[in-house]
Amino acid sequence: MRPRAVVAAFKQQAIHFISDPQWIIPSILSPLLFTAVMLMLYRDLTGPVVLQAVLGGGVLGMWANTLFSSSYSISFDRYNGTLEPLLLSPSEITDIVAGRALWNALIGLSNALLVFLVSELVFHTEVSLLDPVMFFLTLVLTLVSLAVIGILLSTAFVLSRMGSVVASMAEYPIYVLSGALVPITILPSGLQYISYALPPTWGVDAVKLAAVEGYQSMMGADMLVDIAMVILLTVLYFLIARFLLKRIERRILETGSSTVY
């Protein structure tokens, strides 16, 4: 990877985010509204249930921002006619997507913290965290894992004009399978195995361990196991995404077409 290309893509994405107000809706307003609805539905409950609602809103904000900003940025390159110049530049497309994902990860983290802040100040949830330091650390790891999945999905946008269909289909399933919306223990056993293969699942589990006293981790895993798994799977997903992007980039340069279908 080329650090200068990553930094340049990070700055470019920051400028686009600030200059284009439409990202405020999926990045900030949507998770806040979701959290507000969940808290109004469970207004008479306290403890883990309320924390699940707040955590769900935070993860929704991180995932929506990563998905729509990181993946869809390739579509905007295609619409603006800048995708082909990017593919012909000396920098790998992976560097560009990774730089954009870093900015979106920063916004996603800020959004998650904003959800917790609004929940506390407006709805007076009085959620107490068991280990605030580990909670923040595991939240960051979860965010990075979501960003890597966004990079992986961006391959569909490079390969096809119909990449938005793939991303839209993946948005809610990832949200459910990660355990952010409901505990994965209530999912069918077949879906639980899919959940175990997703890095955010282990990240969300670690977040709950750091936040809720007496929380029973999935598969009896402890904090270190969750952290190790989310790091391992995140690295694996990134290597897969990088491999696919390089193969697609090489194919485009060989065929002269940036669209298969």
Q: What is the 3-state secondary structure (H, E, C) of 98-120?
A: HHHHHHHHHHHHHHHHHHHHHHH
| Whole-angstrom distance, CA of residue 53 vs CA of residue 99 | 31
Burial class (CB in 10 A: 0-12, 13-18, 19+), 137: middle
Most confident of 86-90, 175-179, 239-243: 239-243
Average pLDDT over residues 137-146: 87
pLDDT digits (tens, 9 = 90+) for 186-232: 889 888 899 999 998 998 888 888 887 777 777 777 889 999 999 99
Write down the domain spans for the chain.
3-255
Mean pLDDT score of the chain, rounded to an integer? 79
Most confident of 39-43, 81-85, 110-114, 138-142: 138-142
Spatial neighbors of 11 by CB under 8 A, at least 6 apart, are none
Proportion of the chain above pLDDT 70, given as a percent: 80
- At residue 67, what is the residue type? L
Q: What angle do CA 63, 91, 247 make, to 5 degrees?
A: 70
* pLDDT score recorded for residue 236: 96
Average pLDDT over residues 117-140: 80
Q: Does 142 have pLDDT greater than 70? A: yes
* pLDDT score recorded for residue 261: 47
Proportion of the chain above pLDDT 90, given as a percent: 10
* pLDDT score recorded for residue 157: 72
The per-residue DSSP string of 121-157 comes to: HHS------S-HHHHHHHHHHHHHHHHHHHHHHHHHH
* Cα radius of gyration rounded to whole Å, the chain: 19
